Structure 1
């Protein structure tokens, strides 16, 4: 028995030390992947990989050592195989956190590149997806002076450990895949733009199951971020007559329900918003706070209604009203087709409750 155990252990050690395992110094860690559309129909995809080069010294702007390699091919798989011939180490996708689609590709069809991402067993579904403008390759080539590690600036922009902005929308690969394959919830992605030596993330695009259908403005992106994430890190700017002030929101709640979905479809949405004055053109402490709350609620209603109606008119539903409809028991194909006919006729009934709790550190 001991002889058999020794033989088995020897076989396991030989298999581990063979070609199935490579030491860390024989690997290239892929930190970001970008896929663009080319003008060559025979090689429609350009795959770009951002490879981190290990460094013993970590300083902003100094240790940001990376290598960018690109390859055109007819498939993503072929491009990766060709890219392996350009490096001297094995490509390791286990640390990839950034998945970028070029804007031209996002307007064409992202199904095939997305399929490659989710099928590989070594890709992280917790990675972040985004659109690169003008291209994914250009965004991956950026090296912000403050960046300490390759691609770390992009990762920190999305994971919440660094900057927190109401304009930055975050979408993980796992949720994006669910939205692509599931009825009732349309996908979206943030748009990353070049900005000098760095980048800016101010807008987002809403998609159907294949491509971009609507690009949002900066203000629309912020509103959608509020509705999707219930993000409280935003400001509510109010201007009406002599009232000109901005509220910093410290509490934001939203819930909704579908009413009379078979006859006159209506979606009632209830908001509870609490905040303090962060900027004002005049003293607010002696004002009628209830009146200020009504004015702020009215302006908030206009912001929300403008975006909701625009999404509805384009047949897009990133919030998931259709998924709520299916959860109510409407799961057959005929009932889903009925929802697709009802959604363009849907009206929104917004009930917004704003609570003004302070004027900041001054009256």
Structure 2
């Protein structure tokens, strides 16, 4: 009996059906063989945080630290388990390849939420070069948090607070704002840091995490970069006020030592507006600050509300002008003033140079009211 023929092309005979089935079976086998590169979950090591430091070895100047979560069946408070692996290399990619020889499983970076950069390294090495590997890694998410670390990134990764359930979860919830709402903490995501590195007239700003032993940390300062390196580290008070000017927080406060008075602004009624204007050949930054707030603590009866209001207005102007002068001296622009001027066609030259030539005008509107059952 002759095999069945399928007339696929008019006037020609097609291949026998068994031969076509054989070809299809071969293709199906090839597709299945290509899927063998998949790694089961028990063959993966999930990297939850990374750190890059200066090693001190000229031959291998970078020290890379990976924080790997160790899965447990029962998650208990204070019993989070993790593994730290450290290796030196000329590049981050080289150090990671060296680390692969220290672990039996394949590294999985899809859960990497934190990227720490040692302060010493940030002062010596361009930020673009440090973040280049993280940008190119397709498995690292753009919403990963980036921060400076002191005394080192490795020390920050070793921090494990007693109440922590998951490795580095305390640092993550603090830095992304899902936990504490401290006005001293700056939020910096990888995608935004990269944008600031390449956008003219807008410079990166990173929070500074200080490791206080292995059980505690402190986040109250921030580091400012130009398009290359770390140029300025702000104090806690300057960090708070810069976050307020950037619109990241409205929880600002004022403490007056002479009258022993603590003023807390209402987060729902505190706002700021930045406007770059052209005044002849010069550019002027107009800062409008509006604050409504209450007196949370007062230990002297000497000052009346109008006097307190005038004192807060003077303090607002002093804070703003002092901070802007520091930004001018360092040549950094975390507020994006050069970008604002370029968007309005006011930057005749390089937007990066706008911050150095600006004049300032600060306008305030302050309303102070008492709280509770205390009447004065």
If the length of structure 1 is used for normalisation, what is the TM-score?
Answer: 0.90
Specify the alignment match of 1:310 in structure 2: 326
Distance change >3 Å, CA 5–CA 234, structure 1 → 2: farther
Q: Is the 8 A contact 2:201 2:333 kept in 1?
A: yes
In the TM superposition, residue 295 of structure 1 has moved relative to its aligned partner by 2.4
| Shift of residue 159, structure 1, vs aligned partner | 1.8
Q: Are 1:299 and 2:315 matched, yes or no?
A: yes
Match of 1:140 in 2: 157
Q: Given the alignment of the two structures, is residue 218 of structure 1 paired with residue 227 of structure 2, yes or no?
A: no
Instruction: Report whether the alignment pairs 1:347 with 2:359.
Output: yes
Map of 1:238-317 to 2, 5 A cutoff? 238=256, 242=259, 244-250=261-267, 251-260=269-278, 263-282=281-300, 289-317=305-333
Match for 1:98 among 109, 114, 118? 114
Distance in 1 between the 2:97 and 2:353 partners?
46
Cα RMSD of the aligned pairs, angstroms, is: 2.4
Preserved contact between residue 265 and residue 343 of structure 1 (Cα < 8 Å): no
Query: Which deviates the most, 139-148 or 47-56?
Result: 139-148
Are 1:15 and 2:28 matched, yes or no? Answer: no
* Structure 2 CA distance for aligned equivalents of residues 92 and 270 of structure 1: 47
Give, in angstroms, the shift of residue 247 of structure 1.
Answer: 2.2
* 1:43 and 1:72 in contact (8 A); partners too: yes
Q: Given the alignment of the two structures, is residue 336 of structure 1 paired with residue 372 of structure 2, yes or no? A: no
Cα deviations across residues 95-138 of structure 1 (Å, max 9, x unaligned)?
00100111111001122221111111110110111111111011
Please identify the structure whose Cα radius of gyration is greater. 2
Structure 1 residues 242 and 36 mapped into 2: Cα distance closer, same or farther (>3 Å)? closer
Alpha-carbon distance, 1:283 to partner: 5.9
Which digits, 9 at most, give the CA deviation of each residue in 1:243-274, with x for residues without a partner? 73322432221112122255132111111112
Maintained 8 Å contact 2:47/2:66: yes
Partners in 2 of 1:5 and 1:236 — Cα distance? 76
| Match in the other structure for 2:95 | 79
Listed as ranges, the gaps of 5+ residues in structure 1 are: none
Contact 1:30 1:52 (C-alpha < 8 Å) held by counterparts: yes
Distance 1:117 1:357, change over 3 A: same
Q: What secondary structure does 1:60 align onto?
A: coil
Matched, 1:51 2:68: yes
Task: Map 1:103-142; keep pairs closer than 5 Å.
Answer: 103-109=119-125, 110-142=127-159
Summarize deviations over 1:262-312 as a string: whole Å, max 9, x none.
Answer: 51321111111122221112469xx85444333222212211211111111
CA separation in 2, counterparts of 1:243 and 1:86? Answer: 57
1:165-196 per-residue CA deviation (whole Å, 9 max, x = no partner) reads 11111111111111111110111111111213
- CA offset digits 1:54-90 (Å, max 9, x no partner): 011111111x100000000111111111111110111
Q: In structure 1, how many angstroms separate the alpha carbons of the residues matched to 2:370 and 2:136?
A: 51
Count of aligned pairs: 353
Q: CA deviation at 1:24?
A: 1.0
Distance 1:155 1:5, change over 3 A: farther
* TM-score, normalised via structure 2 length: 0.87
What residue is the counterpart of 2:368 in the other structure? 356
Q: Deviations over 1:22-71 (max 9, x none)?
A: 11111111000101112212111111000000011111111x10000000
Distance 2:279 2:95 in 1: 48
Change (3 A) 1:349 1:311: same
Q: Would the alpha carbon gap of residues 245 and 74 (structure 1) be closer, same or farther in structure 2, given more than 3 Å must change? A: closer
